[in-house]
Amino acid sequence: MDDSLPAVDPDVAATAADIAEMEIRGAATIADAAAEALAKQAERSEAASPKEFRRQLRAAAKTLYETRPTAVSLPNALRYVLRGMSGETVSELRASTIARAEEFQVDLAQAQSKLGEIGSNRLRDGDVVMTHCHSTDALSCLEAAVEDGKEIEAIVKETRPRKQGHITARQLRELGVPVTLVVDNAARRYLDRADHVLVGADSIAADGSVINKVGTSGLAVNARERGVPVMVAAQTIKLHPDTMTGHTVEIEMRAEREVVSDEERADIAGEQSDDGLTVENPAFDVTPPRYVDAIVTERGQFPPESIVILMRELFGETTGEPWAP
């Protein structure tokens, strides 16, 4: 029996490439793009049988899944769409898949708005908030606070090597929020001015650990020392259900060229052998729950240690991989 998966629609392949290269970034944006890609695969499928249609959808999901191992919103989106695929004919399977993808996208858009309203309740008029990286969930809290008439200021870490903090700074300025953009290593100095640290998450484990852009953990430790509360804004698609059964979260290692160019590498090595120089570029780190004050979701705010209760409610005790052959 041939268990190999068929080729995928070109738009699916293009979406996968954009996710891998971080042209599509941010957990919610990745999830939305993945659902859209599966809908396109379903719409354009020329499968002659229900079995072949399912194989094509699994192939598309697997192609998308393998792009970013740490961003759990991606497999959660794929699970949601594939588990809603039902029907006895290709036509029925196509319709159910497209409908399920559209339903997911609508829920996703509403979730961020609800999350923002809940998160904004933790912010007071005149607060100064420090951010790290770029998170649409975190930004939704600040946007809701501004819409409520609160005066908010932001200290934005630039977040090297890709400087996602520049995106955050630009979008906050578009909201009229005063921004101080600082280099990453200056965070501890500027925490004395901050009332909150507000970050997003790419994944949240069952024990309440937060997996987010590398540098988050150090920021949270420094914030606890300074007495600055740390709020994590994360939609429930960021919850990592596999961690309930003992799986660990894989930390993505990015290409060294994001840190040093070939010319810079040669300059560092000098006359010595290049074999002795190793460049590592982890995309994420893990913040233990003891350094997090609250995880804010569209379903409410939770102490990190209790997030497993919400996880069980949403996903049950175990999960599988519906894209597997």
To the question of whether residue 27 is assigned a binding role by annotation, the answer is: yes
To the question of whether residue 124 is assigned a binding role by annotation, the answer is: no
261 in a domain, yes or no?
A: no
pLDDT digits (tens, 9 = 90+) for 48-64: 999 999 999 999 999 99
- Which of 68, 92, 113 is the C-terminal boundary of a domain? 113
Query: Does 73 share its domain with 146?
Result: no
Q: How confident is the model at residue 1, as a pLDDT?
A: 40
Q: Residue 259 in contact with residue 279, Cβ under 8 Å?
A: yes
Query: Does 104 share its domain with 169?
Result: no
Q: Is the pLDDT of residue 6 over 90?
A: no
CATH number of the CATH domain containing 291: 3.40.50.10470
Phi-psi region of 78 (alpha: psi -120 to 50; beta: other; left: phi over 0): alpha
Q: Which amino acid is at 163?
A: K
Pick the catalytic residue: 9, 127, 137, 202? Answer: 202
pLDDT digits (tens, 9 = 90+) for 135-155: 999 999 999 999 999 999 999
Q: Is the pLDDT of residue 78 over 70?
A: yes
pLDDT digits (tens, 9 = 90+) for 201-246: 989 999 999 999 999 999 999 999 999 999 999 999 999 988 988 7
Q: How confident is the model at residue 194, as a pLDDT?
A: 98
- The Cα–Cα gap between 113 and 115 comes to 5
Q: Residue 69 in contact with residue 250, Cβ under 8 Å?
A: yes
264 in a domain, yes or no?
A: no
Q: How confident is the model at residue 187, as a pLDDT?
A: 97
- Find residue 287's DSSP bridge partners: 210
Structure tokens, 302: 């939770």
133 catalytic, yes or no?
Answer: yes
Q: What is the mean pLDDT of residues 153-178?
A: 97
Q: Write down the H helix ranges in 194-318.
A: 216-226, 262-269, 307-315
Structure tokens, 190: 């500027």
Query: Does 95 share its domain with 197?
Result: no
102 in a domain, yes or no?
A: yes
DSSP secondary structure letter of residue 286: E
Query: Does 65 share its domain with 125?
Result: no
To the question of whether residue 212 is assigned a binding role by annotation, the answer is: yes
Query: Does 60 share its domain with 20?
Result: yes
The percentage of residues in the chain with a pLDDT greater than 70, rounded to a whole number, is: 96
To the question of whether residue 26 is assigned a binding role by annotation, the answer is: yes
Looking at the structure of the chain, the number of domains it has is: 2
Q: Is the pLDDT of residue 42 over 80?
A: yes
pLDDT tier at 71, thresholds 50, 70, 90: confident
Q: Is the pLDDT of residue 274 over 80?
A: no
The percentage of residues in the chain with a pLDDT greater than 90, rounded to a whole number, is: 79
Q: How confident is the model at residue 319, as a pLDDT?
A: 58
Q: What is the mean pLDDT of residues 269-274?
A: 79
Expressed as residue numbers, the domain containing 32 is 10-113
To the question of whether residue 233 is assigned a binding role by annotation, the answer is: no
How does the average pLDDT of the chain come out, rounded?
A: 93
Q: Which amino acid is at 219?
A: L
Pick the catalytic residue: 9, 32, 127, 133? Answer: 133
5 in a domain, yes or no?
A: no
Q: What is the mean pLDDT of residues 59-85?
A: 89
pLDDT tier at 183, thresholds 50, 70, 90: very high
pLDDT tier at 4, thresholds 50, 70, 90: low
Q: Please, what's the b/e burial string for 94-112 (b: 16 or more CB within 10 A of its CB; e: otherwise)?
A: bbbbbbbbeebbeebeebb
Q: How confident is the model at residue 54, as a pLDDT?
A: 95
Query: Does 32 share its domain with 64?
Result: yes
- Per the model's pLDDT, the better-predicted residue between 325 and 38 turns out to be 38
Q: Is the pLDDT of residue 188 over 90?
A: yes
CATH number of the CATH domain containing 40: 1.20.120.420
Query: Does 188 share its domain with 296?
Result: yes
Query: Does 126 share its domain with 25?
Result: no
Lowest mean pLDDT: which of 85-94, 154-163, 264-273, 304-313? 264-273
Q: How confident is the model at residue 82, as a pLDDT?
A: 93
60 in a domain, yes or no?
A: yes
Q: What is the mean pLDDT of residues 77-104?
A: 95
Q: How confident is the model at residue 3, as a pLDDT?
A: 56
pTM for the structure as a whole:
0.81
Query: Does 163 share its domain with 287?
Result: yes
64 in a domain, yes or no?
A: yes
Q: What is the mean pLDDT of residues 7-18?
A: 94
202 catalytic, yes or no?
Answer: yes
To the question of whether residue 25 is assigned a binding role by annotation, the answer is: yes
